[in-house]
Amino acid sequence: MPPLLQQIVDGPSACQYLDGRQATIDNRIIVGDTAEQLEAMLIRGWRRFGPVHFRPACASCDECVPLRIPVADFQPSRSQRRAARACERLRVTIGPPHVDADRLALYRSWHRFREDMRAWEPNPLEARDYWLQLAYPHPAAREIAYYDDDPAAEIGGQAGAGTRAPRLVGLGICDQTPRAWNAAYFFYDPAYARRSLGVANILQQIAVARERGIPHVYLGFRVLPCPSMRYKAAFRPHELLHGRPGFDEEPEWRRG
């Protein structure tokens, strides 16, 4: 087990995924863990934002089911291949996560879009909180950034016009361990929503894992009754974690 600084159990309180349900979250605040120690948590259903590692501990609900993709077996659907083609012209970079004005602006624009579309609560996320949640220095932490080098074409101009500087249009927050690629969070420019960047981002991360010899991509919790979390089930084949195994138990992943 990785070094534990603090354990905090939140709830029961209103579930963020399912109306009318109560949720209890087990939070482990961990500082100084290794990529291998994080991997041991990922394969047991834990997620990470900054130093906070968490998973549901609800007594009467098991709708949040950890889902992972076996990279060697994955085959994209026709619609997923269309999404990848729609994003082919975007430039992709991978590196350590950090915070700057472009990332803050992208996050805020995306979150306002979600507030309007799905009645999310406002969350402006200042630089300090962005760093703590999404750019915290961890040996496994990565970000995948998507740039449009000719954004004038997207907003009605002519392709190749070169009238605007390259534009950050999507950002995936990830973790890389020896045998796990963790897709933790993704946000994008609402002007590019029709390109299904979220789907293309998952395909990109699967491709990166395949290139690096990583056998599984972890997508977090599948919550079938929740539209924001249901989409993960469309990536097939996938595996689902059975139960909530402890650190002294061998996790059992079953084909979904």
CA distance 74 to 196: 19
Nearest to 155 by CA among 202, 195, 115: 195
Q: What is the pLDDT of residue 119?
A: 66
Say whether 255 sits in a helix, a strand or coil.
strand
**Residue 234 placed within a domain:** no
Q: Note the pLDDT of residue 3.
A: 77
pLDDT of residue 155: 63
Residue 29 included in any domain: no
Largest CA distance in the chain: 59
pLDDT of residue 122: 73
**Structural domain total, the chain:** 1
Residue 191 within a domain: yes
Query: DSSP state, 57?
Result: -
Domain-embedded: residue 246: no
Using 70 as the pLDDT threshold, list the residues of the chain that sit under it. Answer: 1-2, 118-120, 155-163
Question: What is residue 114's predicted lDDT score, i.e. its pLDDT?
Answer: 79
Residue 236 lies in a domain: no
Is 47 strand, coil or helix? strand
Tokens for 154?
């997207």
| pLDDT given at position 154 | 73
Instruction: Determine, yes or no, domain membership for 16.
Output: no
Write out the E strands in 38-179. 47-49, 52-56, 65-70, 91-95, 141-148, 167-177
CATH number at residue 165: 3.40.630
Q: How many residues does the chain have?
A: 256
68 lies in some domain:
no
| Structural domain for 119, as ranges | 78-217
Task: Label residues 77-108 b or e (16+ Cβ within 10 Å = b).
Answer: eeebeebbebbeebebeeeebebeeebeebbb
Distance CA 144, CA 107 (A): 14
Is the pTM of the predicted complex or chain greater than 0.85? yes
In a domain, 100, yes or no: yes
